[in-house]
Amino acid sequence: MTATPAETARYAEQILDEIESVVVGRRRSLELVLLGILGRGHVLLEDVPGLGKTMMARCFSEVLGLTFARVQFTPDLLPADLTGLSVYDQRVNDFEFRPGPVFTQLLLADEINRTPPKTQAALLEAMAEEQVSSDGRTRPLPQPFVVLATDNPIEYEGTYALPEAQLDRFLLRIHLGYLSAKDEQELLERRIRRGSEQPKLSAVVDAETVLAMRESLERVTVEPVVLGYVVSLVEATRTHPHVAVGASPRGGLAMVALARGQAALNGRDYVTPEDVKAVAVPALAHRLSLRPELWVRRVTGMDVVTGLLDTVPAPR
């Protein structure tokens, strides 16, 4: 199956509308998650509990027609609990590999910062290479393979900071924030109208269509002058006085992938500087290591990237 950028835009509109029948007041966040999936990447949802991160992941799996697995990350979670392990089968007098929950198309890694580095490293191979190595064999994961991870940034007891290498593997990081008063009231009214019934969603596309939508973004043109703007933003993170370690080249690749998706959602087959600006903060902020003293001043990577968008000149 093939798709054009225009068809991808139509599918995306239908996908977002269907999810919005359940998720209230999150249109932009939903768009960013979809851009991450179409950009062949993984998404980190970071915010306080109770804002609908888990619900959002389930909705995407249903509407995209993808197989779904959820792993609750805990301090005692072992790599084999995630990737699977070999079990001796007496009937055949040999070991048989039992796949773990990572062998799915959409994996919800809930509270990913609660598991120790050894288990995080097992997930890192799956995210980076879309494969699992076990017992001397390499097993490919189903396609498409997407990790939607949640992270609670306000609780530090019993948590393990995500290593920079793993943060860099996330195509983008999204902060949800609280709903407006109007949207929160709409949420409560929907709950009362629904009663005890669970919300139901219909599949708009399937896995094959998602892969075709991904491929269609390769037809979205990025002019050299726009690529130059992307490089200027990435280089500016490396020389900013607040930044100890700036964005890697993977940050530029992430911005291009997301900007192509943003252009398609906006009904175009070419990228503009405005598309780059729309995705720069979620694509770059989590890739920056700020100087330690800025923690006291509560300066974040989001603040740095937002400031760079105002100071780095964009092409006309």
Q: What is the pLDDT of residues 66-94, one digit of tens each?
A: 999 998 888 888 888 888 877 877 777 77
Angle at 310 between CA 308 and CA 314, to 5 degrees: 90
Average pLDDT taken over every residue of the chain: 86
Q: Where does residue 69 rank: exposed (0-12), middle (13-18), buried (19+ CB within 10 A)? A: middle
Q: What integer pLDDT is reported at residue 81 of this predicted model? A: 83
d(CA 220, CA 218): 6
Residue 235 near residue 45, CB atoms below 8 Å: no
pLDDT tens-digit series, residues 227-266: 999 999 999 999 888 888 888 899 999 999 999 999 999 9
Q: H-type helices in 21-84, by residue range?
A: 27-38, 53-63, 79-83
Percentage of residues of the chain with pLDDT beyond 70: 96
Give the mean pLDDT of 268-278: 93
Q: What integer pLDDT is reported at residue 198 of this predicted model? A: 78
Nearest CA to 301 out of 280, 313, 314, 284 is that of 284
d(CA 278, CA 143): 28
Nearest CA to 253 out of 4, 9, 41, 31 is that of 41
The domain defined by 220-316 carries CATH number 1.10.940.10: no
pLDDT tens-digit series, residues 141-182: 899 999 998 887 665 555 666 767 777 888 999 988 888 888
End-to-end CA distance of the chain: 37
| pTM as predicted | 0.88
Residue with the bigger pLDDT between 277 and 125: it is: 277
Q: CATH number of the domain at 1-219, please?
A: 3.40.50.300
Q: What integer pLDDT is reported at residue 154 of this predicted model? A: 60
- Give the pair of three-digit tokens for residue 239: 């020389």
Q: What integer pLDDT is reported at residue 155 of this predicted model? A: 57
Residue at token pair 């068809």? 7
| Pick from 56-65, 188-197, 299-308: least confident | 188-197
> Domain segments of the chain: what residues?
1-219, 220-316
Q: What integer pLDDT is reported at residue 46 of this predicted model? A: 83
Report residue 106's pLDDT band, with 50, 70 and 90 as the boundaries.
very high
Residue with the bigger pLDDT between 159 and 311: it is: 311
Q: What integer pLDDT is reported at residue 157 of this predicted model? A: 57
Alpha-carbon torsion, ordered 286, 287, 293, 297, to 10 deg? -30
